[in-house]
């Protein structure tokens, strides 16, 4: 079996140690880190996601697959973030309150780091005010929110409303994303940018932060 296929298969079985070792082997064989991510790890997670939806697997299986995914990501992270290291700005990030999904958010963190951002990762189940408090504390440029559940998406709007209440709406660029989020939701709640994936998020973040800094300098 091809190495990349093996990574996907072991991820689906939740075999974290094997996934970690195979990702390392793939890197040692000079495979492209993005190929390992997309065709190995993410494709395995997509298969698990589809099976979960069809009730062919349940939460425990998804959880071990997610752990295997995160184990693979720890090996891949140094390669994914080594692209650039000029300091670009500061970003506060987290998965919104009530939501425990962190794989996509962790990928966004890696890509933002790779784009040169200093990251303040608040983790999962983040209270709305915590994003704003942290942004104020560290002098952030961007607030990034991730949501994977339709039931937790409204927390993004709560953050926008709190920013307005605290007269801080113009101070921060607000970026949102996650599987159920889309452009029209972004417009509806008055966030600044929706991006569909981690790489695009980092690309847009860098462009707008540098643009804002150039305009104010």
Which residues bind to ligand B1M, rule: CB under 6 A?
42, 45, 48-49, 52-53, 59, 62-63, 66, 98-105, 107-108, 144-146, 148-150, 175-180, 195, 197-198, 201
Burial class (CB in 10 A: 0-12, 13-18, 19+), 82: exposed
Taking the complex as a whole, the smallest distance from the CB of residue 144 to ligand B1M amounts, in Å, to 4
Taking the complex as a whole, the smallest distance from the CB of residue 163 to ligand B1M amounts, in Å, to 15
Question: Do 50 and 8 touch, CB atoms closer than 8 A?
Answer: no
Taking the complex as a whole, the smallest distance from the CB of residue 217 to ligand B1M amounts, in Å, to 25
30 or 106: whose CB is closer to ligand B1M?
106
Taking the complex as a whole, the smallest distance from the CB of residue 201 to ligand B1M amounts, in Å, to 4
Taking the complex as a whole, the smallest distance from the CB of residue 11 to ligand B1M amounts, in Å, to 11
Q: Where are the alpha helices (DSSP H) in 13-127?
A: 16-28, 33-35, 43-53, 59-80, 103-114
> Residue 115 gets which letter from DSSP?
T
Question: Do 144 and 92 touch, CB atoms closer than 8 A?
Answer: yes
Helical packing angle, 3-12 and 16-28, nearest 10°: 160
Rounded to whole angstroms, how far apart are CA atoms 28 and 162?
48
Taking the complex as a whole, the smallest distance from the CB of residue 74 to ligand B1M amounts, in Å, to 13
Q: Which residues contact 19 (CB under 8 A, 6 or more apart)?
A: 7, 10, 11, 41, 68, 69, 71, 72
Phi, psi of 127, deg, nearest 5: -65, 140
57 or 217: whose CB is closer to ligand B1M?
57
107 or 163: whose CB is closer to ligand B1M?
107
19 or 29: whose CB is closer to ligand B1M?
19
122 or 144: whose CB is closer to ligand B1M?
144
What is each CA distance from 113 to 71, 192, 202, in whole angstroms?
Answer: 18, 20, 8
22 or 99: whose CB is closer to ligand B1M?
99
Residue 210's closest CA among 141, 111, 156, 134?
Answer: 141
């Amino acid at each position: 079996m091809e190495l990349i296929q093996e990574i996907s298969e072991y991820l689906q079985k939740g075999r974290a140690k094997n996934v970690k070792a195979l990702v390392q082997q793939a890197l040692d064989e000079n495979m492209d880190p993005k190929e390992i991510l997309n065709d190995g790890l993410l494709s395995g997670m997509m298969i698990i996601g589809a099976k979960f939806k069809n009730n062919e697997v349940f939460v425990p299986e998804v959880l071990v697959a997610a752990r295997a995914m995160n184990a693979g990501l720890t090996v891949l992270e140094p390669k994914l973030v080594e692209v650039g290291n000029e300091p670009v700005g500061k970003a506060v990030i987290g998965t919104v309150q009530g939501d425990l999904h962190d794989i996509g958010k962790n990928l966004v963190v890696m890509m933002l780091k790779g784009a040169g951002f200093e990251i303040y990762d608040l983790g999962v189940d983040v209270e709305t005010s915590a994003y704003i408090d942290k942004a104020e504390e560290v002098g952030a440029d961007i607030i990034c929110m991730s949501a994977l559940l339709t039931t937790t998406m409204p927390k993004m709007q709560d953050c926008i409303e709190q920013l307005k209440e605290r007269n801080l709406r113009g101070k921060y660029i607000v970026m949102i994303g996650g599987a159920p989020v889309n452009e029209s939701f972004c417009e509806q709640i008055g966030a600044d940018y929706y991006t569909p994936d981690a790489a695009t998020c980092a690309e847009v973040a860098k462009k707008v932060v540098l643009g804002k800094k150039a305009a104010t300098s």
